[in-house]
A and B are shown apart, each in its own frame.
Chain A
Amino acid sequence: MAGHTGGLSARMSKGRAAGAALPEGSPNDDARTAFWLVAPALALYAVFTLLPIAATFWLSFNSSAGFNTSASFVGVGNYAKAAQDPIVWKSLVHTFAWLAYHVVMAGGLGLLLALAVSRLRITQVFFRTAFFLPHLVSLAVVGVIWANIYDPFFGLLNTALTQIGLGAFTQGWLSDPALVLFSVNVASSWQGFGLYMLLFIAGLQNIDHSLYDAAEVDGANAFQKLIYVTLPGLREVMTFVISLAMINGLKGFATVFVMTNGGPFYQSELITTYIYRLAFQSQDHGLAAVLCILLSLLAIVITIVFNRWRARLSQ
C-alpha cells in the first residue's frame, strides 16, 4: 500500500514540477491507483451497507427471538408466514396509499405554493421562508403537534370547525378507519412540502421568459400559459420531486409511529411500522427481515418503473 501511494505522490509531484497534467501511466497502474483511492469508501460501504443487507437476508431464513440468541434455520418459513399474515397485506396496501397521498399532497402543495409565491416580488423571501419552516421540524415533533390538532375533544381542527358553524364536519380524525391514514399523511406532507416548493421555485426560475412573451402574443390566457408553458417547463423538476416524494413516502414511519402506532386496529399500519413492531416489540427478527427485503424490493421495482416512465416521457 505504502509503495503504491508513494508511487502516486511521486508521479503527482513530477507532473506538478513539469507544470503539466498528470503523466499517463500504464492502465494497470491506473487501475491499481484507482482501487486504492476508492478502497476506504468501498470498505465503509461494505461494512455499513452490504454487510447489513447480507445479514438481513440471512436473518430472513432463520428464526430468531432477538439479539444474542442462536438463530435456527427455517428455510422459507418466514416468507410463508409473511404471505399468510393479513397484516402484512394490509400494511402493503397502506404503504401504496401512503405513497400516493404523499406524492399528491406534499408534491401538489409544493407546486401550488411555488406557483403562488414565484410571482411575488417583495414578499417572496418571507413566504419562501415561512413555508419552508415546517421542514425544519422533526417528524416526531410534527406527529405530536398534529395529534393534538386532531384531538377530537380539544383539538384545534374540530374546535375551529365548531366555532365557524361547521360542527357537522367534525371528525374522529385519528379514530375513523377510513380517514386515519389520510389524516396522518397530511401531517407528514405538511412537514415535507416546503422542500418540494423550493425545488419548483428553482425550476420556475429556469423557464425562459420569452416563452411567456410569445404565448402572450399568441393571445394565451393565464391558464393556457400554465398548461402549455409552465408545466412542460417544470417536467424535469416534477420527475425529480416525484421520485424524491416517493423515496420519502417509502420511508414513512415517524408520524405514524407517534400519532397512531399503526392503529386503530392496524388501519394506519405501514410496512415500516410493522417491521418496527415485529423487530423491537415482538422480537420476531426473522419475519421483520422478510419485510425489510419486501420493502427493498418495492423500492427497487418502483424506481425501475418510474425511471422507465421518465425516460419514455423525455423521448
Chain B
Amino acid sequence: MLKFLARGTALAAMIATSSLAHAETLKMWGPEQITEPLVAQLWNGIKADFERANPDVTVEFMPPTGTISNGAVQAAIQSDAGPDVILTNSGIGRISVVKNAKQVMPLTEQYEKRGWKDQIYPWLYTELKGQFGGEIYEVPDGLDALGIWYHKDIFAQAGWKIPATWAEFETLMKAIEETGLQPIAIGPRTPGSAGHLFGNLLQSASGKEVIGKALRREVAFDDPSIAAGAVRLQKLVEAGYIKKEMAGLDLDGASRLWFNKRAAMFVAGPWFTANARKAGYDLANAGYAPMPSDIKGAAIPTGGVGWSWLVPVNSKQPELAMKWIDFMLSDAVMKKRAQDPASTMIYPREIPGVEPPTPVLKDIFAAAAGGVGYNPSVYLPGTVLDTYFQVIQGLISGQIGGEDGMKQLQAKMAEAK
C-alpha cells in the first residue's frame, strides 16, 4: 500500500512538473471597465479564444487601478511583479513618460516582422513613426473622438440644437443657464476630463492646423492665436456658463451631473457609452455633435490615439505578449469587439460591414469619418501634461486668466525635451 502511494505521489509530481515546465501565464493589465459584467463577458470570451488557440497558455487579467497619467502603470512596471502586456490610455504625451523612463520596449521591429504596420490606418502608422525619431513604443488599440454629448429630449423640448458657430453656441449656453440647468459639465480633477473640454475649446478657437503647429512647437502656446481658446474658457467661467465649483469635480462627479440631467452638455468620447451604461442612462437619448467653431473645418471632434498596447521591458513573457497583440489585431477579434454591445471606441483600422452597437456610436463614427483634430492631453510631452491640467483647473476655479495660463504652459513646453 505504501509502495503504491509512493509511486502514485511520484507520478503525480512528475506530471505536475512536466505541465509546469510548459505552462505559461500571460499577465495582462486592463481593460479599464473589466469589472463591468458586459465588458468582462467580452474579455473573458477573448481570453478563452486565445487560450484555446494556445493550449499551454493561461491569460491572467490584472484589473487596472489607474493609468500612466496618475503613475499607476509606472508603479506596476517598477514593482517587477507587473504585467507582461498593458492596455492603457495612451497618446504621445503619456507614452513619452514611460518611454523616457525606459519602462517599455520599442516595438518598431515587430511592426515590420509581424505585419502590424498593415493592420492600422496608414496615416496612423506615419504619425507613430514621426513621434520618437522613427521608434514606435505602442500598438494602437482604439482611437478617441471627443465632442459634445447632449440630451436629445431636453434639447427637443426646449427647441435647442447644437449650432454651427461659436457665437451661436454662446447664445445657446446663455439660454440653457437661464433655465437653471448647468450648460456644460466638466470634472477637471480627473486629468482626462479637464483636457476633453479644453482641447475642444482650443481647436474651436484656433483651428486644427494651428493647434498642430503648437504641438510641433512651430507656434508658442502663449501666442494669441492659441491662447484664444484659454481666454474662451476664462470667459465661460466669468459668465457663469461653467461654474467655478466644477473645479472640485472629477469625471464621475461631472458625469453624474450630466446623467441626472442637471447639465445639458458634456464633452466626451465614444468611451462615454460605458459610463452611460454603468449609470443606467438610456443611450438612445444621447446626442453627439462636434464643438462649434467660426473657423471653417474646425468643427470636428478632437482626438488621437486613445488606448494602446505596451510591452514593459521587464515583461516575463515578451514573446507571448507579442503573440497576444497579434491576436488582438486579427480580423476575428477586431470584428468581435466592434460588434459587441460593450464596444466603446473607434478601432485603429477600417472594419468593413460592422454596425456600431449604439446609435450614439454611429453618430460619433460619422462625425469622425472626416478625420479628428488634436486632443493636447495625448500629444503634449509628459512633463508638460501636469501643468496643462493644473492650468485648466486654475482657469475654471478663477485663479488665473487664459493668457497667464498659456504663458505657464509655454514656459513648461520650453523646458521639455
Report A's interface with B, CB cutoff 8 A: 65-69, 147, 150-154, 172-177, 180, 260-267, 276-277, 279-284
CA distance A173 to B382 in the complex (A): 30
A selection of 18 A-B contacts at a CB cut-off of 8 Å is A65-B101, A152-B245, A152-B249, A153-B182, A153-B253, A172-B243, A172-B247, A174-B248, A176-B244, A260-B189, A260-B248, A263-B189, A263-B393, A264-B394, A277-B71, A281-B71, A281-B74, A282-B382
CA distance A267 to B400 in the complex (A): 12
| A281 & B97 in contact (Cβ 8 Å cutoff) | yes
On chain A, the residues within 8 Å of B314 by CB distance are 68
Cβ contact of B247, chosen from A153, A175, A262, A277, cutoff 8 A:
A175
Q: How far is the CB of A178 from chain B (nearest CB, A)?
A: 10
Is B119 in contact with chain A by the CB < 8 A criterion? no
CB neighbors of A among B29-64 (8 A): none
On chain B, the residues within 8 Å of A152 by CB distance are 243, 245-246, 248-249
Is B313 in contact with chain A by the CB < 8 A criterion? yes
Given contacts A260-B189, A282-B97, is CB(A265)–CB(B74) below 8 Å?
no
| B249 & A151 in contact (Cβ 8 Å cutoff) | yes
Report B's interface with A, CB cutoff 8 A: 69-71, 74-75, 78, 97-98, 100-103, 182, 188-189, 243-250, 253, 256-257, 260, 262, 313-314, 382-383, 386, 389-391, 393-394, 396-397, 399-400
| A67 & B386 in contact (Cβ 8 Å cutoff) | no
On chain A, the residues within 8 Å of B243 by CB distance are 152, 172
| A65 & B100 in contact (Cβ 8 Å cutoff) | yes
Q: How far is the CB of B184 from chain A (nearest CB, A)?
A: 13
Given contacts A280-B75, A282-B382, is CB(A265)–CB(B97) below 8 Å?
no
Q: How far is the CB of A275 from chain B (nearest CB, A)?
A: 11
Q: How far is the CB of B258 from chain A (nearest CB, A)?
A: 11
Interface of chain B: mostly helix, strand, loop or mixed: helix
Q: How far is the CB of B264 from chain A (nearest CB, A)?
A: 14
| B78 & A264 in contact (Cβ 8 Å cutoff) | no
| B103 & A176 in contact (Cβ 8 Å cutoff) | no
On chain A, the residues within 8 Å of B400 by CB distance are 265
On chain A, the residues within 8 Å of B253 by CB distance are 147, 151, 153-154
| A263 & B247 in contact (Cβ 8 Å cutoff) | yes
On chain B, the residues within 8 Å of A67 by CB distance are 78, 101-103
| A69 & B262 in contact (Cβ 8 Å cutoff) | no
CA distance A65 to B182 in the complex (A): 43
On chain A, the residues within 8 Å of B101 by CB distance are 65-69, 283
| A281 & B69 in contact (Cβ 8 Å cutoff) | yes
Q: How far is the CB of A85 from chain B (nearest CB, A)?
A: 11
| B393 & A265 in contact (Cβ 8 Å cutoff) | yes
| A281 & B386 in contact (Cβ 8 Å cutoff) | yes
| B383 & A265 in contact (Cβ 8 Å cutoff) | no
| A284 & B383 in contact (Cβ 8 Å cutoff) | yes
On chain A, the residues within 8 Å of B249 by CB distance are 151-152, 175
Closest to B80 in A: A67
CA distance A147 to B389 in the complex (A): 19
CA distance A289 to B399 in the complex (A): 30
| B397 & A282 in contact (Cβ 8 Å cutoff) | no
Cβ contact of A280, chosen from B74, B244, B394, cutoff 8 A:
B74
CA distance A69 to B99 in the complex (A): 11
| A265 & B248 in contact (Cβ 8 Å cutoff) | no
On chain B, the residues within 8 Å of A173 by CB distance are 248
On chain B, the residues within 8 Å of A282 by CB distance are 97, 382-383, 386
| B248 & A65 in contact (Cβ 8 Å cutoff) | no
On chain B, the residues within 8 Å of A154 by CB distance are 253, 256-257, 260
CA distance A170 to B262 in the complex (A): 18
Interface centre among A68, A263, A279 (most CB of B within 10 A): A263
CA distance A261 to B71 in the complex (A): 12
On chain B, the residues within 8 Å of A147 by CB distance are 250, 253
Q: How far is the CB of B164 from chain A (nearest CB, A)?
A: 30
